[in-house]
Amino acid sequence: MFGFLRRHKILTALLVIALLCGGCFFSRMRGPYHDYERDLLKPEPGTKPAPGRLEVGVAKRDITVNMDDYDPWVDVNDNGKYDPDVDTYTDHNGNGKFDGIWIAGFGTNRPAKGINDPQWARALALRNNGVTVVIVSVDAIGLFHNECIRIRELVDPSLDIDHVIISSTHCHEVPDTMKIWSFWRRIKGLDIPLIGFDSRYLENLQREAAAAVEEAVRKLEHCDMYCATVALPKEGFVQDTRKPHVLDLNMYLWRFTKPDADETIATLVSWGNHPETLGGRNCIVSSDFCHYLREGVENGVPDPNGVAGLGGTCVYVQGMIGGLMTQLRIEVPHRDGIRKFKEDGFEKTEALGENVAIAACKALREPALVWKNENPLVAVTAKTFLAPMSGKFKWGIMLGAIHEGYYRGGRAKSEANLLRIGDVLVLTVPGEVYPEIVEGGIEALPGRDFEVAPVETPPLRSLMAGRQNLVVGLANDEIGYIIPKSQWDTNPPFVHNGKSQYGEENSPGPDVAATWHGVAKDLLARMYAAHPFQ
């Protein structure tokens, strides 16, 4: 046999290439963390922990892309896409091809031209009764589960952190971190992504996120924790673009101060809305309304009708945005009460972010809304689960193109968490969940694809026993829209006016929602059994 191979060098080379490709394919299909499991409950049952004074630490690390690493270009026809036959670029490294950094969200082939504001990895560390948990918010379209595991892996183990929750803000104007929007070339009218993905940005994001975790833990200090919940109106803020129209309009707020003082260490804001105010033709990197919201909470919003800032470091975490929750095509008022913005752009983005910041600052100063978290026991439970994927998600995982790690039956590994801080509960979802799964109101109308009653019942909100109950989206994974099975509607006659609705094409499948819902119920039951509310 070896003599045959020596005599047929071309065939031998092809065989070697095939073996290497096969090995790469198998490796990507298996994924780098195939055996990784998380099944955690801290403090352990029966320990009866006595909470002392809560500790908090906060840190932020700049993850803004370095534009000097990529080729500048001129959008000659001003269409927000790179057209090689029309547009021009400067070949920095002389390799004879355009090397761009690709913006995620909306369509493919949107290379960045410049930067409007910095992007961040912001970490909030919490410690009490011997348990340390860190929440990290990154200005990213999303991170797959493996990428989140990698961040955890990079953190200094000597810090003795029990759990790290990593949530993406889902900004649609930042570099691609999911290999979906990175353009390679157009073939017969189709933009082909993936091959143009540059891992340098993602790797730097992971390093900086881990560094933010470490810094936040090293800065832990005693604090008081204040909470508030305020409902924002739909008008001028957000709309649900798919029936049934179910929204969580609440904004959930935390403020951590020096003990018995009015000096802010950190704030946390959670609200459900897609950061996509700049629209799909924008080529300037930005964290969208999240930037103006955080700046406003920290430093204030100027007159007219502004507000003083709270100081400290603001962390924004995304809420429930499936359905989908957006500010596109709605009119956002300026705080001056005169100007209004409907078209995509920075004026509208700034107005929205500042309006949310004003509402947050006012709520956290309103005695009727604010309450002190008096017995802030820190407890956390987490569970790895296998999500049953279908359609293009299933094939993408099988091919190792996205969300590396295939499991028998077309399943992918993901994770759900439940964090308790005294009278606050935080439930995480590894994607963009339809609010009706949490709030109630799931439909099962004639003509739907699956003739089943609502599966994801009861609504999870009814099972959450905290005084304040948050659901944080895109946490530890981004597997797309999580849709109730009885609302799955891809085939005629369609349940609403005979027309299909947007959503299923960016969903991992009709059975993921019930799977996550079941895991969430189990986590709630586990928490209550081990650490019941009084």
pLDDT for 394 equals: 75
pLDDT at 396: 78
Q: Which residue has the higher pLDDT, 30 or 383?
A: 383
The mean predicted confidence, pLDDT, of the chain is 92
Q: Does the pLDDT value for residue 18 go beyond 50?
A: no
Enter the tokens of residue 387.
Answer: 């999500």
Give the bridge partners for 192, in sequence order: 185
Domain ranges of the chain: 374-530
Model confidence at 265: pLDDT above 60 = yes
Q: What is the mean pLDDT of residues 192-211?
A: 88
Q: What pLDDT score does 410 carry?
A: 85
Q: What is the pLDDT of residues 333-381, one digit of tens each?
A: 999 999 999 999 999 999 999 999 999 999 999 999 999 999 999 999 9
Helical ranges in 408-450 per DSSP H: 436-439
Q: What is the pLDDT of residues 277-314, one digit of tens each?
A: 999 999 999 999 999 999 999 999 999 999 999 999 99
**In the structure, what pLDDT confidence band is assigned to residue 193 with cuts at 50, 70 and 90?**
low
Threshold 0.85, pTM exceeds: yes
Does the pLDDT value for residue 502 go beyond 70?
yes
Q: Where are the beta strands (DSSP E) in 441-510?
A: 468-472, 481-482
Residue 74 pLDDT > 70, yes or no? yes
Within 10 angstroms of residue 354's Cβ, the number of other Cβ atoms is 24
What percent of the chain is modeled with pLDDT above 70?
92
Q: How confident is the model at residue 187 (pLDDT cuts 50, 70, 90)?
A: low
pLDDT of residue 508: 93
**Distance of alpha carbon 74 from alpha carbon 87, whole angstroms:** 6
Strand extents, DSSP E, 193-328? 221-222, 224-231, 239-240, 250-257, 264-271, 284-285, 313-318, 325-326
Q: Quote the CA–CA distance of 157 and 61 in Å, as a whole number.
A: 20
Q: What integer pLDDT is reported at residue 225 of this predicted model?
A: 98
Q: Who's near 311: CB < 8 A, 6+ residues apart?
A: 263, 264, 298
- pLDDT, residue 176, reads 96
Confidence band (pLDDT; 50, 70, 90) for 5? very low
How many Å separate Cα 271 from the centre of its chain? Answer: 12
Instruction: Match 């340390």 to its residue by tokens.
Output: 132
Each residue's pLDDT tens digit, 88-106: 999 988 999 899 999 999 9
pLDDT, tens only, 117-176: 999 999 999 999 999 999 999 999 999 999 999 999 999 999 999 999 999 999 999 999
pLDDT of residue 1: 36
Query: What integer pLDDT is reported at residue 405 of this predicted model?
Result: 85
Query: What does the pLDDT read at residue 459?
Result: 98
pLDDT digits (tens, 9 = 90+) for 463-476: 999 999 999 999 99
Q: What pLDDT does residue 27 have? A: 64
Q: Which residue has the higher pLDDT, 527 or 196?
A: 527
pLDDT digits (tens, 9 = 90+) for 421-467: 999 999 999 999 999 999 999 999 999 999 999 999 999 999 999 99
pLDDT tens profile 369-418: 999 999 999 999 999 999 999 887 777 776 777 888 888 888 999 999 99
Contact between 362 and 306 under an 8 Å Cβ cutoff? The reply is no
Q: What is the pLDDT of residue 190?
A: 67
Residues above pLDDT 90, as percent of the chain:
83
Confidence class for position 192, pLDDT limits 50, 70, 90: low
